[in-house]
Amino acid sequence: MQPLRFKDVAVTPGNSKWAASIRREKAIYKKKDDIRSEFSRDYNRILHSKAYRRLKHKTQVFYATQNDHVCTRIEHVTHVASVSYSIANYLGLNTELTNAIAIGHDLGHAPFGHEGEYILRKIVMDEMGESFWHEKNSLFFVDRLETLPDLTNKDHNLNLTYAVRDGIISHCGEVNENAIFPRQELIRLEDIERPNQYAPFTWEGCVVKIADKISYLGRDIEDALTLKILDKGQIAELSEIVAGIKKVKVWQINNTILMNDFVINLCRMSTPEKGILFSEKYLELINSVKNFNYKHIYRHKRLEYYGRLASLVINSIYSALAALYGPKNKLISTLDQQEKIYPSLIGAFKYWLMKYSDIDLEERKTTKFGNQLVYDINNEKDYKMAILHYISSMTDHFAMKLFGELTRF
């Protein structure tokens, strides 16, 4: 394999996409002695955000596991960063850019994993006739909801670069086509309407997109084997799938083996002329593994039970908060009254509204909030979207805590 084949198309100074890639919505402060690049700053801004911290208590696949070694969402994004780095470093791409995209790509993921995403999607469609998908929600989080204190301790929006924001909304890992190429046109990212509508703007974004898939397939199999949810017939089927590439025993199948082979094959095959791609043999393998996971892991009966619980929790929290809506002055009074009954649910939601809405602009002046307002509280649709974003920000643990508060007397 010849390394650094993509060096001339990496997003670095001199690349035709460089100026657009490092563009921010507005100028950002800079310390005199700062030694970081623009993408390195983005990496740090994401790393220090509260949404990133909450990923440690968000489901990847298996909810409420008592095994500390089963993957959570924060471990998943770390795997994606690691896989992306290995590929980008070998190919000669900008590893600082892939790192930032990778750790930020799931910041808008709902509690309870993809099950939570499906539940929120149904609520948004039923209530507003719109779509909800975690890649776009992640963009919304980094653009409008996540904040960091500036040098005066005033909270401001993350204000990330275009290339990182683009990689986040374009990361959809459900890639069935081989050969991924970046798009050339600069588009308004907020106008993207569905997952996989556009290819990423950069080669680095393309790498993260495929690294997402490489990272979760093997890890989910490893967790399924650890939790013993696969029967003998399913394990035999898995062994047969993997045997076409690697002669290993089923108990030797783990994330390291699968990720290594996929990464090496991708690095061997990819060129700027042919795109980021696997060989036909490995493309067939990764799709076979994906089909196996969907059939035997993601649609497992125990996850069906878990989905019912997630639906009950999320819909209960949404219904309880949606029922409180009224004119601004009445809403403030209602929330104050309800906080005495549901201190955690209402207390945190009041904080959310104070930070992101115009519910009490005079009171807001006394806070450290310097971020943009998101919701017009006189608009019921905005109020409902505030609830949905509030729920999507939650960890599994916090959502369960609020559900307990709603159901205990």
* Structure confidence at residue 27 as a pLDDT band (50, 70, 90): confident
In the 8-state DSSP scheme, what is residue 357?
B
What per-residue confidence (pLDDT) applies to 242?
80
Query: Mind listing the pLDDT tens digit for each residue in 321-361?
Result: 999 999 998 999 999 999 999 999 999 999 999 999 999 99
Q: DSSP labels for 223-253?
A: HHHHTT-S-HHHHHHHHHHHHTT----GGG-
What per-residue confidence (pLDDT) applies to 339?
97
Q: Which residues, 6+ apart, have CB-to-CB distance to 340 below 8 Å?
A: none
Separation CA 292–CA 289 (nearest Å): 5
The mean per-residue pLDDT over the stretch 147-151 comes to 90
Look at residue 258 and tell me whether its pLDDT is greater than 80: no
- Higher-pLDDT residue of 218 and 367 is 367
In the 8-state DSSP scheme, what is residue 72?
B
CATH code that applies to domain 7-107+146-299: 1.10.3210.10
The mean per-residue pLDDT over the stretch 227-251 comes to 80
What per-residue confidence (pLDDT) applies to 255?
64
Query: Mind listing the pLDDT tens digit for each residue in 6-15?
Result: 999 999 999 9
The C-alpha R_g of the chain, in whole angstroms, comes to 22
Look at residue 247 and tell me whether its pLDDT is greater than 80: no
Contact 357, 18 (CB under 8 A): no
Look at residue 80 and tell me whether its pLDDT is greater than 70: yes
30, amino acid identity: K
Phi, then psi, of 186 in degrees rounded to 5 = -90, 120
Look at residue 174 and tell me whether its pLDDT is greater than 80: no
Look at residue 248 and tell me whether its pLDDT is greater than 80: no
Contact 367, 137 (CB under 8 A): no
Q: Which residues, 6+ apart, have CB-to-CB distance to 100 below 8 Å?
A: 39, 40, 42, 43, 46, 160, 164, 167
Look at residue 64 and tell me whether its pLDDT is greater than 80: no
Q: DSSP labels for 124-175?
A: HHHHHS----HHHHHHHIIIII-EEE-TTS-EEE----HHHHHHHHT-----
Q: Which residues, 6+ apart, have CB-to-CB distance to 33 below 8 Å?
A: none
Contact 115, 307 (CB under 8 A): yes
Domain with CATH 1.10.3210.10 in the chain: 7-107+146-299
Q: pTM value?
A: 0.94
